[in-house]
Amino acid sequence: SANNPWTGFQIFLSPYYANEVAAAAKQITDPTLSSKAASVANIPTFTWLDSVAKIPDLGTYLASASALGKSTGTKQLVQIVIYDLPDRNCAAKASNGEFSIANNGQANYENYIDQIVAQIQQFPDVRVVAVIEPDSLANLVTNLNVQKCANAKTTYLASVNYALTNLAKVGVYMYMDAGHAGWLGWPANLSPAAQLFTQVWQNAGKSPFIKGLATNVANYNALQAASPDPITQGNPNYDEIHYINALAPLLQQAGWDATFIVDQGRSGVQNIRQQWGDWCNIKGAGFGTRPTTNTGSQFIDSIVWVKPGGESDGTSNSSSPRYDSTCSLPDAAQPAPEAGTWFQAYFQTLVSAANPPL
């Protein structure tokens, strides 16, 4: 559609991920598997700005994307994840962030957003698409019984509002993270989720740059499951398309014609989890459907790979301060390194189990 932010643009490949993948492919001795692994470097993922220290990389990528756009005549699109809320990941431990609410977190977060805005406004020829704060608003829908989430509510809302309003000013197309079918897709959660997302959209001035919602970020659900995974029993919205088809009309009723993006980066293999809530380095996962705007759904702007496959979801080391016991469950691949760091054995499984094959 004319309103699809990807239309007319080529996605700029993250040099960081391309380097990780190239190094990983070199370590694989089987030449067939190694060349399949190397090909993953050409599949676009998102760059996670999960600390202030990563922001200069964004400036470098934007400059490269701008130069590439000028030299090739094909305009470039950079994909980022805004992910540095104070008291981040309030209901789990593996992805705790650098800012705390008790220690100037909201002001630090605003400074983080200001620095990102300052980079982006230097390159108006480069389009930027952003996923806004994975897990944050979904935690406010279902996890206010967790003390850290209840404490964070006001700060999360003010900080997300700051991100949305300031990134809109420099033309960033945004999708707020909306969990996944097994979280907000449960029938009892749909209305509260729709109410919260539309309220956040309204409070941010209903900017047309706030396109909609991102689902299944870093998760394993199929967009369209061949049949319901038994762990989804009791939820009619057993895959992402059912979830989106249930949520979109509720947003429309509130006046928001929101569209969606869906992460399918690690959704190639289904029925591999023991419980739907398991999220950490799930054993047997394979790379999934390639990013495309040919989504088959009026509600979905693009299938995307938000999570860079091969980077760990969390450590299985129980002595680590960021240890989350989810990462030691029987369906979690182990031993797993710290969240965000490279997990070579896991990457190799993603490659060999890719569906469609690489």
Residues forming the site for ligand NAG (CB under 6 A): 317, 319-320
Cβ nearer to ligand NAG, comparing 268 with 337? 337
Beta bridge partners of 242: none
**Could you say which of 50, 84, 135, 177 is catalytic?**
135
Q: Minimum distance from CB of 317 to ligand NAG (Å)?
A: 4
Cβ nearer to ligand NAG, comparing 72 with 318? 318
Q: Minimum distance from CB of 154 to ligand NAG (Å)?
A: 33
Residue 205's identity, in one-letter code, is G
Q: Minimum distance from CB of 7 to ligand NAG (Å)?
A: 46
Contact predicate 49/80, CB 8 Å? yes
**Could you say which of 50, 177, 313, 324 is catalytic?**
313
Q: What are phi and psi of 199, to 5 degrees?
A: -65, -40
Q: Minimum distance from CB of 281 to ligand NAG (Å)?
A: 15
Please count the CA atoms within 13 angstroms of the CA of 135 that sit on its side-chain side: 23
Calculate the dihedral angle through the C-alpha atoms of 236, 242, 245, 250, rounding to the nearest 10 degrees: 40
Q: Minimum distance from CB of 318 to ligand NAG (Å)?
A: 8
Q: What are phi and psi of 240, to 5 degrees?
A: -70, -35
301 catalytic residue (yes or no): no
Cβ nearer to ligand NAG, comparing 166 with 317? 317
Q: What are phi and psi of 176, to 5 degrees?
A: -75, 140
Q: Minimum distance from CB of 20 to ligand NAG (Å)?
A: 20
Cβ nearer to ligand NAG, comparing 4 with 317? 317
Cβ nearer to ligand NAG, comparing 320 with 325? 320
Residue 234 zone, left/alpha/beta (φ > 0; ψ -120 to 50; rest): left
Q: What are phi and psi of 131, to 5 degrees?
A: -90, 130
Q: Which residues contact 333 (CB under 8 A, 6 or more apart)?
A: 281, 282, 283, 343, 345, 346, 349
324 catalytic residue (yes or no): no
Residue 14's identity, in one-letter code, is S
Q: Minimum distance from CB of 92 to ligand NAG (Å)?
A: 18
Q: Which long-range contacts (CB under 8 A, 24 or more apart) does 94-98 make?
A: 94/280, 94/313, 94/314, 94/315, 94/322, 94/323, 94/324, 94/326, 94/327, 94/339, 95/50, 95/314, 95/322, 95/339, 95/340, 96/322, 97/50, 97/51, 98/51, 98/52
How many of the other CB atoms lie within 10 Å of CB of 241? 23
Q: d(Cα 146, Cα 274) in Å, to the nearest integer?
A: 24
Cβ nearer to ligand NAG, comparing 264 with 316? 316
Q: d(Cα 325, Cα 169) in Å, to the nearest integer?
A: 41
Cβ nearer to ligand NAG, comparing 115 with 317? 317
- Catalytic site residues? 135, 313
